[in-house]
Structure 1
Amino acid sequence: MKFKLEIDKVLSQLLSQEDTDGDKKITIEDIGPKSFQLVSPEGETYQVSGTYHLSNLLQGLARAKENGDIVTEISINEIEELPANRISRIIRNYFWAGLTRTMDVAGIKNLIHDSKNETLISDKLRVYIPFNDEIVFNYYKELESSFPIEVIKLPESITPQYVKSINDKPGILSLKIEEINGKMQGVPFVVPGGRFNEMYGWDSYFESVGLLLDDKVELAKSMADNFQYEIEHYGKILNANRSYYLTRTQPPLYSSLIREVFEKTNDKDWLLSHLKTAIKEYETVWMVEGKRLTPNGLNRFLAEGIGITPEAEEGHYHAILKPYADAMDMTIEAYEKAYANGEIKNKTLDNYFVHDRTVRESGHDTSYRIEGNCADLNLVELNAMLYKYENDFAHLISILLNNDVEGLNIGNRIYTSDYWIEKANFRKQLSDKYLWNEDQGLYFDYNTKTSNQSQFVSATTFTPLWSSMASEDQAKNLVKKGLSILKEKGGIAGSTEESRGKLSDERPPRQWDYPNGWAPHQMMIWKGLINYGYLNEAQELIYRWLYMITKCAVDYNGTICEKYDVVKASHKVDAEYGNVGAQFEYLPREGFGWMNASYQYGLSILNSENIFKLNQLIEPDQIF
């Protein structure tokens, strides 16, 4: 049955009756009658009842109004759509499109109006172009006459000193633009959402998992193509394509992306091109001694920028700077400016900011696991990811050469599958020595300065399952001991409460710690459990995560956001930076990139019996 409705009239009546807190949403916090009557032109009536069905009606009306309609037809099937089915459909049909960007003439307006540009000293958007990309440089120079942009060519050698020198001139970094049918077009990419309106490093991989599941293969392929552009022109996969991220990379997931895209396209020419670039990244970003390769043979993150991070919100570092400002009888603002300009030297602060930037490079910004010592740590997840790089390289070379043992010639060097298998085996031996704790049955980060394992229990302890680096016995211990201390109502927490420690005004919550849970952790853990045959445990964790997201969307007008409190199974989190995706009017338009992907990925693995229970919103503790 369908009802033909005058949009403005019905929308006004619905909000007046049901949106009692005036936030232009219908949620469980509204105290209206929770019942609204629709009347068809033929006089048929239908009572829309309950928060979920009312919010579905609101969203349908709002979407039709955005399309420019005056009258619309709303079907009862749409209003009563099963919640998991609805969330998945909206992600597939609307959210990915809402998050897709390009850096060409069609997409430049989005960048100009991005919230990060509101505080620019210049009234123009700065667009930085690689030194050796004349085609893109000329393309943007032509746009200067039509748009408020300033095109700047980067130097041939990008040093930390140079990047610091342009901190007061922040801008966007160009991505790949190609000629299609005689027209220059930006290669599209997916952004996380909200204020994260650029292409981020590890977000892009997890987003692509969802894109591939939703048959958006070309868009996932484009993400890899932009990764390749960043490596070739900026020397690394960037934290994000902003000028102040030029010295900072992200967790390495490029090999996983190209492998999974290739499994869909079977394009060996494309694969060979990307494999060469991925090996170049491995050698030049991760395996340089004294930088991200540590003396023990394992790896660390190391952001190479200098001083205060320019992207931090005003006042973010005041608590850190205050003792030094007080000692010199200066205001915090004056001290911060003098330190940033090099007028004040402070080696303690210099060291602090090395670790602070490195936390951001790790993707886990912020967590007490790595605060104050990140650049000293062989992190479990980083070495698990590089182990997967090495095995992926072996696998992909064997595909390209049809198992030819002569190897692949890359940069005047021959790489064989056996070479990479040996590298992976060696990394596993080192990981067993430095990262594995037999007594506790968990992986821990290793501090290269103190020569001790950290005792901070994090969700990252499971990443060796994702990369298949753990032995069968190690996997058994991880499942037995790790799940029991990290599993919560809504999935796996970022850490244990004990590891996080007590909180206070001087020690506020950190967003990657207990009680919060994050999509990339869940996705890697599910895959890891399946790798080792722990299918029932995977089903339970997937259900817990999807139940939390689904219940939140049902109760809060379709809300899907960046992170969740998995202890309370709620989107209302107590942590810095807020919760992107929670603030909108009428209907959600984007969700959040890797959260969307986690939903599609989880739903693709969940068995039919559990999907049925999920649509009925049966509490996890009633099932498991």
Structure 2
Amino acid sequence: MHRARGEEPVTADEWLSLDDTIRAQWDDDVVPGDDAILRDCCQSIPMPRPYVAGGAPTSPPWYRTMFSWDAYFSNLALLAHRRLDLVKDAIENYLAMIDRFGYMPNGNQVPLATRSQVPLFPDSIARYLAASADGDLLERAYPRLVEEYRGYWLADHHRTPAGLATNRDLGDPNLDPRLAAEAETGLDFTSLFEGNVSNTVPVMTNCSLVRYAQVLAGMAANLGLRGHSSQWRAEAAQRAERIRELCWNSEAGFFYDYDYVAERHVRQASPTGYWPLWAGVATAEQARSCVDFLPRLLQPFGLVTTDTAAESPFGAALGNEGLQWMYPAGWPPLQIIATWGLERYGHVEPMRRIAMRYLEMVVRNFRHTGELYEKYNVIDGGIELPNARYGTLPLHGWTSASVVLIGRQLFFDQPIDDQVPEFAPPWSD
């Protein structure tokens, strides 16, 4: 393990102390549904419930937003800490946004409402239902999620001739359309999609939609809608098959985003190639090959966001300094999904390799600064990045979630699926 000279290794006790700190911070991170600070800075969209924001006290005020995929990872950690009350609040807000827009926007700001974000959040609704047996929420959530899945994610602006979904924005007045579309993936901004995500069918987006259909199948089954449940399962399986057909790069032995216009894979690899393991899309043989691919992405302190650096594909619209989702940055959500997916396929040793390197870095930085950060440099283990876009901010949210979830994987030998059990529907017809 790479660590600074004289640095003590991270122990279970030190991790537990940080886990306790995070447990105590959740209530401090709650902002009102109609937050005055966010309203003044960012044209916020009021929410019916308070919610856990990602920002730390020293983060900029715009990080008081409820971002869609950030909230998903916070929900997972809140479930592991048994804070079902805070998860329920986030879910009610999500459903309220579907009532208003037909989808959950990128975040609860007017400037972000022309797009959504990679649709992971419904998985946390299913896991909340597993923990709570909240029948009322099940009945209210199901039709709203069907509306979002069909009315937004399967809408014309996401359809492609390839049979998988792309990402597009519906008219952000402030951003270059290519950047606005890329923001819908959550990777704002990156070289991964070579300048036009709408020409690709991203692995992360489509694996999230596989999981979304699986969630709807489970909800339908528990509501006694057997025909609907079978339909959703078939839809998930069909999309999974198409991902294997188009996004599997047999020469590299890894999943890559597919450019359906150029009819080729993108040139850079990313930890998003482990999302098919998380979604159950990969075959056992593909999963083993993804383990063999790990040296391309695993650096001294975790998984790097792209396997290489690249020049900005946006030219004057965005310089290299704005490509924060690129080498040498490592981002917490990508570590969570990759370790989770590898463990689901039984590849525990590779999962532990990622987990130890990543937690070593996060805990060591916390040891010296008392802060968790939005992203890290996984090459040198610090927080300085040449492409940080707006700097490296203190952050709770998904970084706290990574400590909670990956720490339990590493020190308690507790798979994430045990920490936050899946909604177990009566599958038999």
Normalised by the length of structure 1, the TM-score is 0.61
1:510-525 to 2 correspondences below 5 Å? 510-525=323-338
Q: Distance in 1 between matches of 2:213 and 2:106?
A: 22
Q: Distance in 1 between matches of 2:169 and 2:412?
A: 45
Query: Which residue of the partner structure matches residue 67 of structure 1?
Result: none
Which structure is richer in relative contact order (CA contacts within 8 A, separation 6 or more)?
Answer: 2
- Contact persistence 1:252–1:385 (CA under 8 A): yes
Q: Distance in 2 between matches of 1:500 and 1:467?
A: 29
- Contact persistence 2:71–2:121 (CA under 8 A): no
Deviations 1:62-110 (A, max 9, x none): xxxxxxxxxxxxxxxxxxx95322211111112x222211125xx43x3
- Contact persistence 2:68–2:121 (CA under 8 A): no
- SS of 2:64 mapped into structure 1: coil
Residues matched between the structures, number: 399
Q: Distance in 2 between matches of 1:380 and 1:51?
A: 38
Q: CA deviation at 1:429?
A: 2.1
Query: Which residue of the partner structure matches residue 218 of structure 2?
Result: 395
Q: CA deviation at 1:306?
A: 4.5
Q: Distance in 2 between matches of 1:215 and 1:306?
A: 38
Q: Whose strand fraction is larger, Structure 1's or Structure 2's?
A: 1
Deviations 1:345-395 (A, max 9, x none): xxxxxxxx2211111111101111125211211001101111111122222
Q: CA deviation at 1:198?
A: 1.2
Q: Distance in 2 between matches of 1:91 and 1:254?
A: 21
Query: Which residue of the partner structure matches residue 100 of structure 1?
Result: 30
Q: CA deviation at 1:566?
A: 0.8
Deviations 1:286-337 (A, max 9, x none): 1123x1111221001111115433xxxxxxxxxxxxxxxxxxxxxxxxxxxx
- The question of 1:604 aligning with 2:411 is answered no
Of 333, 354, 358, the residue aligned with 1:541 is: 354
Of 426, 429, 436, the residue aligned with 2:248 is: 436
Deviations 1:242-292 (A, max 9, x none): 111121110001320111111110112211211221111000111123x11
Q: Distance in 2 between matches of 1:608 and 1:461?
A: 26
Query: Which residue of the partner structure matches residue 340 of structure 1?
Result: none
Q: CA deviation at 1:520?
A: 0.8
- Identity across matched positions, percent: 26
- The question of 1:580 aligning with 2:403 is answered no
- SS of 1:511 mapped into structure 2: coil
Q: Distance in 2 between matches of 1:563 and 1:516?
A: 7
Query: Which residue of the partner structure matches residue 166 of structure 2?
Result: 300
Query: Which residue of the partner structure matches residue 445 of structure 1?
Result: 257
- Contact persistence 2:372–2:396 (CA under 8 A): yes
Q: Distance in 1 between matches of 2:111 and 2:412?
A: 46
In structure 1, what residue type is equivalent to 2:27? A
Q: Distance in 2 between matches of 1:266 and 1:524?
A: 25
- The question of 1:192 aligning with 2:123 is answered no
Please, what is the CA RMSD of the aligned residues? 2.5
- Contact persistence 2:248–2:254 (CA under 8 A): yes
Q: CA deviation at 1:502?
A: 9.5
Q: Whose helix fraction is larger, Structure 1's or Structure 2's?
A: 2
Normalised by the length of structure 2, the TM-score is 0.87
Q: Distance in 2 between matches of 1:279 and 1:545?
A: 37
In structure 2, what residue type is equivalent to 1:438? S
- Contact persistence 2:329–2:375 (CA under 8 A): yes
- Contact persistence 1:173–1:243 (CA under 8 A): yes
Inter-CA distance 572–507: structure 2 relative to 1 (3 Å threshold)? closer
- The question of 1:500 aligning with 2:313 is answered no
In structure 1, what residue type is equivalent to 2:324? Q
Q: Distance in 1 between matches of 2:33 and 2:243?
A: 41
Inter-CA distance 534–51: structure 2 relative to 1 (3 Å threshold)? closer
Q: CA deviation at 1:477?
A: 0.8
- SS of 2:38 mapped into structure 1: helix
Query: Which residue of the partner structure matches residue 217 of structure 1?
Result: 84
Query: Which residue of the partner structure matches residue 423 of structure 2?
Result: none
Inter-CA distance 509–244: structure 2 relative to 1 (3 Å threshold)? closer
In structure 2, what residue type is equivalent to 1:189? Y
Deviations 1:120-165 (A, max 9, x none): xxxxxxxxxxxxxxxxxxxxxxxxxxxxxxxxxxxxxxxxxxxxxx
1:343-382 to 2 correspondences below 5 Å? 353-382=176-205
Of 462, 482, 486, the residue aligned with 2:297 is: 486
Inter-CA distance 51–387: structure 2 relative to 1 (3 Å threshold)? closer
Q: CA deviation at 1:514?
A: 0.9
Larger Rg: 1
Of 5, 9, 19, the residue aligned with 1:88 is: 19
- Contact persistence 2:194–2:266 (CA under 8 A): no
Inter-CA distance 502–376: structure 2 relative to 1 (3 Å threshold)? closer
- Contact persistence 1:539–1:607 (CA under 8 A): no
Q: CA deviation at 1:608?
A: 4.8
